[in-house]
Structure 1
Amino acid sequence: MSQNMLVIGNQDASHCFYLPTPPQIPSNWQYDSFDAIASLIAANGNHWRKILTIMAKLSVLDTNWRNYRDTQLLKQNECLVIGATNLMTNAIHHFVCGHQSAHKLELNMLNMTELKGSEEFISSLHSNLYLCPYFDYRQFPNQHIDNLRRYLDLPALL
């Protein structure tokens, strides 16, 4: 792990979301506490509510992403990784959010292929690595989220 890397959530998570900047972490905050997500949203506002919502939409196995976000997100299967220079070794799926995160990870964009005709995100099919737009609804709207969910063999949310 890089010295400047911050992991928020379960370090052994199967889904890792790589972002360039961290949220404000409330004092005494624990990722596995009952109100962890509500506390993060209260401390960081609508911007982080959107990020956490998109994470939930990409992680939930069914379609009940609201409940998943509020009660389970970051507790078992996901972690946020800020400032990463290496991928988390235990993860199955790596969601690299935005070009800034991809650059920090030194991803070779020439080895990545477009995901089945979709220009919204790029995937390296051999390693479950997904280069996504930054998690904002203007850059990564629900239609694009559903495209990625279908690729992950998850039911559509729309």
Structure 2
Amino acid sequence: MCDRPIINNLGSPRAKFCFYLPTPPVAPDHWHYSDQDAVSKLIELNGNHWRKILTIMAKIAAPDTNWKRYRDTQLLKQDEQILVGSSQLSPQAEWHFIVGGVSQKLLESETREKQFIPLDSEEKLHFDGKRMLKVPYLDYRQYPNILIEVTREQIKRRR
């Protein structure tokens, strides 16, 4: 049994990008999203699975193509937030990424009235036409670079 804290809200509460996930990472003692090494500590403690999640988030949110530097120095500090197991959308977020089927089910009452259109031929990405996306789980097999680029294009078009 793990005696480390589990955090269900990671990142800036004023973030413009909110990612809704079904399961939390284990957090180091005294961890805070604003710590310089916050992301590297999460990866160190939670392993490859969370490295992939945080990398895909960085690829989506980075203002340029240097996602690795962004992940290691800026991710979760200002513009990103992760809400785990949430049944409500963050009122502060400009963009909402509802990740995977479990999160989509949890947020069904928030999305029921919206019309989502697929953005790709395999219908893995669905967009409400404004600033909400239903996306696959943040894993390279489910959310490859080509889908990350489609996501970035949607964000770029609405800036």
Cα distance in 2 for residues equivalent to 1:94 and 1:118: 21
| Residue 117 of structure 1, CA deviation | 5.6
Report the 3-state secondary structure (helix = DSSP H, G, I; strand = E; otherwise coil) of the residue aligned with 1:54: helix
| Residue 65 of structure 1, CA deviation | 0.2
Cα distance in 1 for residues equivalent to 2:44 and 2:141: 22
1:64-83 aligned within 5 A: 64-83=66-85
Cα distance in 1 for residues equivalent to 2:124 and 2:151: 9
| Residue 7 of structure 1, CA deviation | 1.3
Report the 3-state secondary structure (helix = DSSP H, G, I; strand = E; otherwise coil) of the residue aligned with 2:156: coil
Cα distance in 2 for residues equivalent to 1:109 and 1:56: 30
Letter in structure 2 aligned against 1:11 = P
1:68-147 aligned within 5 A: 68-106=70-108, 107-108=111-112, 111-115=115-119, 119-126=123-130, 128-147=131-150
List structure 1 runs of 4+ shifted beyond 6 angstroms.
none
Among the aligned pairs, what percent are the same residue?
44
- Structure 1 unaligned spans of 5+: none
| Residue 152 of structure 1, CA deviation | 1.5
Cα distance in 2 for residues equivalent to 1:66 and 1:24: 22
Cα distance in 1 for residues equivalent to 2:140 and 2:149: 13
Cα distance in 2 for residues equivalent to 1:118 and 1:153: 22
| Residue 12 of structure 1, CA deviation | 1.1
Report the 3-state secondary structure (helix = DSSP H, G, I; strand = E; otherwise coil) of the residue aligned with 2:86: coil
Given the alignment, which residue of 51, 58, 61 partners 1:59? 61
In the superposition, the TM-score normalised over structure 2's length comes to 0.88
| Residue 150 of structure 1, CA deviation | 1.5
Contact 2:114/2:128, CA 8 A, preserved across alignment: no
In the superposition, the TM-score normalised over structure 1's length comes to 0.89
Letter in structure 2 aligned against 1:47 = H
Deviations 1:77-111 (A, max 9, x none): 00000011110001000001101001001132873
How many pairs align? 149
Match of 2:4 in 1: none
Q: What RMSD over aligned residues (CA atoms) do the two structures have, in Å?
A: 1.8
